Amino acid sequence: MRRKKPAKKTADREAVDRQSSVAAPRFRLEDLFSKNNRGLLLDIVVFVANILFMQFLTSLVIELFHGMSAEYPLAKLGLGLIFLAMWILPFAGAVLKRWHFHQRLTAQGKTVDETKLAGCLFNPIFYFCLNLVITSAVLTTLGEFFFGRRLLNSGAAFVPFVIAGFILTVFQTYFIYRYFSQPKVPPTSRFLLSPHSEALGDICLFLNMMLFQVFWNMLAFAPLGRPSSLLEFGGRLFLLCFIALLIYFPPRMFYLAEDINRRRTWLTMLIANSPVIVRVLIGADSNMMTVW
């Protein structure tokens, strides 16, 4: 007599496939614009921007650096406003989105996984050090524009500026990392409770990412030339991926707190940065403008 076990295994396998198809519905295009997939949407927007127009924006910012070197006041003002936006936008986005983010997780029966966010990149010290650099850039550019280099370099003005910048950065970092903690009471502001608050917060975070991408794209303008060996190619690839993570992570971490457990997340983050990585790997065009 023939055994009928294979038929039973086939039936069991079909049952498992049906269950998995029900448990994991197919991703639809309209799902891309849902609030749960803001991180994925951001990665796609960054990828498209890096291909279409980010190099043009970067060239404009490089011109501002050239103008600042030539002591043009408007160039200092332009760069100062860019650095100030990079300082304000993540703070504003965190405050505007915090209540809605945790309400959405609670409705799904989820909470922020503290163990997943315990890595060094989520450490407030890392973000605080980055913000100190941005704060220094704000004080240097806007300080020189409004007060002049001579007054800014004097001890009477320099020390208060440094102390004020340090204190403001401490408060900014604190409010940014409050985003990851569950609010105990609803906000008193009606606007923070409205859906418009989260939409405006997303706009702030998307704009902040675009500004970070401008400085990331500056690597593509550096006259590095083509790799001369496979070892140099591998070393450059490793260094670029590491730098991409350091630059891309701070503005992306607000959404990463929600989609860190999704397998595609790290892949889409890498794809978003791939245009710049490819340009630097193959070598910058000698005709391209450089920062130097």
Q: Is 220 within the bounds of a domain?
A: yes
Looking at the domain assignment, is residue 44 inside a domain?
Answer: yes
Domain assignment present for 30 = no
* Residue 17 domain flag: no
User: Is position 74 within any domain?
Assistant: yes
Which two three-digit tokens encode residue 212?
A: 């970070």
List the single range of 8-12, 35-39, 68-72, 121-125 with lowest mean pLDDT: 8-12
Domain annotation covers residue 11: no
Q: What is the mean pLDDT of residues 103-131?
A: 77
pLDDT level of residue 111 (50, 70, 90 thresholds): confident
Distance of CA 245 to the CA centre of its chain: 9
DSSP 186-210: --S-HHHHSHHHHHHHHHHHHHHHH
Q: Are 260 and 113 in contact (CB under 8 A)?
A: yes
Average pLDDT, the chain: 84
Whole-angstrom distance, CA of residue 203 vs CA of residue 209: 10
- Can you give the pTM of this predicted structure? 0.84
Where b means 16+ CB within 10 Å and e means fewer, 231-243 reads eeeeebeeebeeb
| pLDDT (tens digit per residue) in 257-272 | 888 888 889 999 999 9
Tell which wins on pLDDT, 207 or 260.
207
- Token pair in block for residue 245: 């993570």
What's the pLDDT tens digit per position in 143-201? 888 877 776 666 667 788 888 889 999 999 999 999 998 899 999 999 999 999 999 99
3-state secondary structure of 166: helix
Write the pLDDT tens digit of every residue in 51-86.
Answer: 999 999 999 999 999 999 888 999 999 999 999 999
Q: Which of 221, 124, 111 is nearest to 178 (CA)?
A: 124
| Structural domain contains residue 18 | no
Residue 204 confidence (pLDDT): 97
**32 vs 50: CA distance, rounded Å:** 19
Contacts of 155 (CB under 8 A, 6+ apart): none
Q: In this predicted model, which residue has the larger pLDDT, 167 or 109? A: 167
107 to each of 100, 102, 110, 252, how far by Cα in Å?
10, 9, 7, 23
Domain enclosing residue 182, as ranges:
35-282
Cα(292)–Cα(255) distance, integer angstroms: 34
- How much is the average pLDDT of 32-38? 85
Does the pLDDT value for residue 284 go beyond 60?
A: no
Residue 202 lies in a domain: yes
CA angle 221, 141, 58 (to 5 degrees): 20
At 292, the pLDDT band (50, 70, 90 cuts) reads very low
Query: pLDDT: is 289 or 246 the higher one?
Result: 246
Task: Mention every residue, 6+ apart, whose C-beta is less than 8 A from residue 18.
Answer: none
Cα 137–chain centre separation: 19
Distance, in Å, from the CA atom of 2 to the CA atom of 162, rounded to the nearest integer, reads 85
Number of domains, the chain? 1
Residue 288: predicted pLDDT: 46
Q: Which of 27, 44, 49, 119 is nearest to 269 (CA)?
A: 44
